[in-house]
Amino acid sequence: MGIRIVIDSTSDVTKEIIEKYNLIMVPLTVNFEDRSYLDKVELSTNEFFDKLIVSDKLPTTSQVTPGKFVEVFNKILEGGDEVLGIFLGSDLSGTYESAQIAKNMIDDERINLIDSRSVCLGTFSLILEATELVDQNKSIDEIVKTIESLKDKVELVVAVDTLKYLEKGGRLSKGQAIAGSILNIKPIITVKDSKVSVVDKVRGNNKIVKWFDNWIKENEFDLTNKTVFLYHAQNEKTIKTLRELIEEKYTPKNIIISEVGPVIGTHTGPGVIAIGFLNK
């Protein structure tokens, strides 16, 4: 009996990792005015941002349904494997709750679910840790216990390039968004225990990489032999600069670069830059 890891699309796990570890990705849905799309299945990241930029109305997103999870979980169980589900924070989406409903409907103790209390690259860091534990032939109980203990060790910060989509989504007033755009302000946000908060603001793209560098130094984070996750949304130039800085100054074990997908991109817009890792 093996362990199959089930994830949702908001972790934006790279295709290479999904294929390498045989992960099962269950997509959320992005709803534009003309139609709905399964995240990363029916709508690629580039196609999404092309549509987002010209859309007058901000698209909405929908969680995975319990019925879809029942289908996925049953297929794994019928194959003789255990289920380990790791999903985005429950305060950010009802997807984890849907998975719990599905588990209760099936009523099988071989289904194990983890609320990452994070999102995007934060969830990815926990997923990658779980894949390594599976490869080490750890038991499902050992893996769940370890991942649960690591949730509060997720460190991530995100630089949002434009306030336009936060304003469209009702998270900022129109006046705040206009003022921020005039001043070229880039909010820096973090996610801790499923809560999104603004930790700082910088003015101009050229200061973002320096801010990340200072954040690492001021918090005395040791990235030596750690896997560092770098995310971006159509901002390859800045992510390249950030990668070079991390490689030269902090000697990580590995750097994984991924693109922010449609669901997360709905709320952040293009131009995002993010860094995260497990501070263990």
Q: pLDDT digits over 246-262, tens only?
A: 999 999 999 999 999 99
Q: How far is CA 78 from CA 24, 82, 131, in A?
A: 15, 10, 21
Look up residue 259 and give its two tokens. 């693109």
Q: pLDDT digits over 52-88, tens only?
A: 988 888 899 999 999 999 999 999 999 999 999 999 9
pLDDT-wise least confident of 2-6, 95-99, 230-234, 266-270: 266-270
pLDDT for the residue 177: 47
Closest CA to 3 of 60, 50, 68, 73: 73
Does residue 181 have a pLDDT over 70?
Answer: no
Does residue 165 have a pLDDT over 80?
Answer: no
Q: How far is CA 224 from CA 85, 161, 248, in A?
A: 29, 29, 11
| Residue 25, beta-bridge partner list | 7
Does residue 278 have a pLDDT over 60?
Answer: yes
Domains of the chain: 3-151 (3.40.50.10170), 154-278 (3.30.1180.10)
pLDDT for the residue 42: 95
Helix extents (H) in 22-173: 45-54, 66-78, 95-106, 121-135, 140-150, 164-168
The average confidence (pLDDT) of the chain is 91
What share of the chain has pLDDT > 70, as a percent? 92
Does residue 195 have a pLDDT over 50?
Answer: yes
Does residue 179 have a pLDDT over 60?
Answer: no
Q: Contact at 8 Å (CB) between 94 and 8? A: no
Q: Contact at 8 Å (CB) between 190 and 121? A: no
